[in-house]
Amino acid sequence: MQRTFIMVKPDGVKRGLIGEIVNRFERKGFTLLNAELMTIERVKAEEHYLEHQDKPFFGELVDFITSGPVFAMVWEGENIIEVSRLMIGKTSPSEAVPGTIRGDFANTKAENVIHGSDSLISAEREIANFFDILSIRSNDNQYGERKSS
């Protein structure tokens, strides 16, 4: 079983798309291991988009992802990274096929509703960047909630 990091971006949260996106992953048979509504600090956003730091749009990307709350999630399932990338669709809404998340909901290339890990290495890095690894699913604690002492 693979794990991946999926994040509903500020535009998706603002437009009330969290439930629709979660439903699509659940209907595909994937398991939600952890989820949290959060506001990303600039330093964490810069770490998240490190591979884009030398590109001209880096600052704009960081500004956008820190502009409002995001809904960060860890999902598990067979071949989930490849399948989730197909479900998400192309980065640009003009290239995203209808029926994909971006094809149905993205407005611009920058405000494209969702982020998903593109490889096992990215998934591991992004999950570790946004979640305490120990809080992610034990067999008796499916959703990673913390138990009080």
Domain chopping of the chain, boundaries? 2-135
* Percent composition of the chain: helix, strand, coil (DSSP 3-state, to 5): 40, 20, 40
pLDDT of residue 133: 63
| pTM of this prediction exceeds 0.95 | no
* Domain 2-135 falls under CATH 3.30.2290.10: no
pLDDT of residue 135: 58
Distance, in Å, from the CA atom of 75 to the CA atom of 131, rounded to the nearest integer, reads: 12
Digitized pLDDT (tens) for each residue of the chain, 149 residues in all: 999 999 999 999 999 999 999 999 999 999 999 999 999 999 999 988 888 899 898 889 999 999 999 999 999 999 999 999 999 999 999 999 999 999 999 999 889 999 999 999 999 999 999 997 655 554 444 444 443 33
CA angle 142, 146, 147 (to 5 degrees): 100
Is residue 115 annotated as a catalytic residue, yes or no?
yes
Place of tokens 């913390």: 146
Active-site annotation holder among 3, 113, 115, 116: 115
